[in-house]
Amino acid sequence: MRTVKATPLPAPLITHPQQLGALVRAVRTASGLTLEETALSVKVAKQTLQNLETGTGTVSLALAFKVMNGLGIRLTWQAPPDAGGPGGTDAA
């Protein structure tokens, strides 16, 4: 069995595909899973997972969420202050 070296978690603010990929890789490696094991368990191609982790190529949003859900990653969001609603201003 191959040993997986854990990757540190990235900063909590994600604004680029590479940062999301770094999060996926960090969670995967912290779980001790290889690319192959993870791809098999979440039912995506190894190349798709690799592209997601590196922020390269084209990975659909649906596949990205499939991988994140399979690894237990949940995202939260924050609307800009001028968007209205909680944390924003209501235009009346």
CATH T-level fold of 17-71: 434 Repressor (Amino-terminal Domain) (1.10.260)
DSSP label at 82? G
Residue that the structure tokens 């854990």 belong to = 6
pTM for the predicted model, two decimal places: 0.82
Domain assignments of the chain as residue spans, ordered by start: 17-71
Question: pLDDT tens across 24-72, in order?
Answer: 999 999 999 999 999 999 999 999 999 999 998 899 999 999 999 999 9
Helix (H, G, I), strand (E, B) or coil at 55: coil
